[in-house]
Structures are given as C-alpha cells and as structure tokens.
Amino acid sequence: MKIVEVLNQDKVTLSFEVFPPKKMDDYTKVEEAAHQIASLHPDFMSITYGAGGGTSQYTVDLARDLYQRTGTEVIAHLTCVTSTREHVSHMIQSFKQAGIENIMALRGDIPKDGKVAHDYSYAYQLIREIKEHGDFCIGGACYPEGHVECEHKKDDILHLKQKVEAGCDFLTTQMFFDNNVLYNFLYRIREAGIQVPILAGIMPITNKKQLSRSVQMSGTQVPERFKAIVDHFGDDPQAMKQAGIIYASEQIIDLIANGIKHIHVYSMNKPDVAAAIQNNLSGILK
C-alpha cells in the first residue's frame, strides 16, 4: 500500500524510523531490532539510507525483509547528493524488484570531504526522476525551523513548494522540541498553498550526548524547559532515558490534541523506546 493512502485515512498514525547497519557483521542485530519495532504494529516504518549511499543495499534488504516477513508497510530512503543518475536508476529498479512502493526522496548531507556527484543539486530533481521511473509514493523532508543551509525561511518554503510541485506526496519534518515551532510552520506553509499531509518528526532524547549531536547536525533549538531536564537528569542514564521518553510522549499528546494526525518517531533502532512511547499513547491511539 502507498503511504499516502494510509495518511489520507481519517485517523491518527504512528510510524517509526530505523537505520541499516554500516557493516554486514551488524546486520542481524539491526534486523532483530527492526523486527521488534515492527511487532508493535506501526502504521508504517521508514528505513534510512547511509551517508554517501554506503549502505544502500542494506536499505533495500531491510525494507524488503520487513515488508515481506512482517507485513509492515515500509518507505525506503534514497539520497542523491552523492549519487550519479546511473546509481539512482539502479536503486529505483532494486526497490521495484523488492516490491517497495514508497520512497523518501532526500538530497542528503554534504559529505565531510565535500565530494558530491553533481548530477543532482536538490531533492526536487530526485523527486522528478523517481516520478519518471514508476508509480511510486514519494515522501520528502521539511524543516520547521528552516534548513540550516537556507538563510531565509521564506526561501525555504519556496524550495519546499518546488518539491511538492515536482511530485512529493507528503512531507516529514525534521525533529523539533517546541511544538509551537511546528504550529507556526504549518500556518506558513498552508498559506503558501502547500496542502500535502505533514508528518511531525519526534526524536526521543534518551541520553545527553544524543542531544548535542542532534542539535549540531540539525540546528534545532532546544527550549529552556528541555534544557533543564537534560541538565538535571543527563548524568543518570536511566533517569534521562525515562525523562526523554516522557518529554517525547507529552509532545505527541499535545500535537494530537491540536489536530496533528501523523506522528513519525525517530526511534534510532531502539525497540524499548518505541514500545514505551507507544504504551504511553495506548489510550490515545485507539
């Protein structure tokens, strides 16, 4: 089933994201974690794509395995900044052969060494190419606080509109820790005419180092309330894990109460975190 069909149903959806291993030796461990998350029966699962496409085959394998062995709907990521057109075409064919109907089309991060393929500069170019290769449901990324490489939020929304006009069926937000940021963002993009479904991306922060890495990579602002939680509980692993799960759960509850229907959890291959959040929402997701 195409993910957009799930999103267009009149219900709240909960999805989880997993990432493939960097090396084959870790594949079984990652596969087991993904299966445990799939056993929670999310509306779908998202499988990421390694930096530079280094784990691209693992993305295909994990997505196919989840779909065929657990019956879980999946969306496989595909990035283009380091990819040639030949590689993208090969990946699209691999997805087709695996029975995958959903692709998350992303530009991807510029590698630390600065080496890019030059065939693609923006995600909308990849979206157009995927559309030309088959009848896929295509997801894209959006940035409630603005993309770190885009100086003006107005320009960022214009770029987002390009993605939608190129054929993007829905958008998933980058992580955010202040729901008001999302509410303001949704107002601005709806005013700009962007009407596709939006998934709110929630990152449960379960250890102190995870927060600093996440903020460094994304530029996401951290509310004082959450800073206080990390400062107080950050040196106690168990307490920080519990506090992070509760904070993420409260974010989701507030989002649902304010009409946000689609929640995407960056579960970081942690079945226990995914299960704890789902349990906290058990009475809400009926």
**Active site positions, annotated:** 17
Torsion angle in degrees (nearest 10) through CA of 268, 271, 276, 277: 40
Measured CA to CA, the distance from residue 172 to residue 3 in angstroms comes to: 12
Q: Around Cβ 286, how many Cβ atoms within 10 Å?
A: 7
Measured CA to CA, the distance from residue 256 to residue 177 in angstroms comes to: 15
**Distance (Å) of CA 87 to CA 22, 131, 207:** 19, 16, 36
Contact 4, 197 (CB under 8 A): yes
Contact 33, 271 (CB under 8 A): yes
Kindly state the DSSP code that residue 28 receives in the 8-state scheme: H
Measured CA to CA, the distance from residue 263 to residue 255 in angstroms comes to: 8
* Residue 132 CB contacts under 8 Å (≥ 6 apart), including other chains: none
Tokens of 243: 């506090």
User: How many residues are recorded in the chain?
Assistant: 286
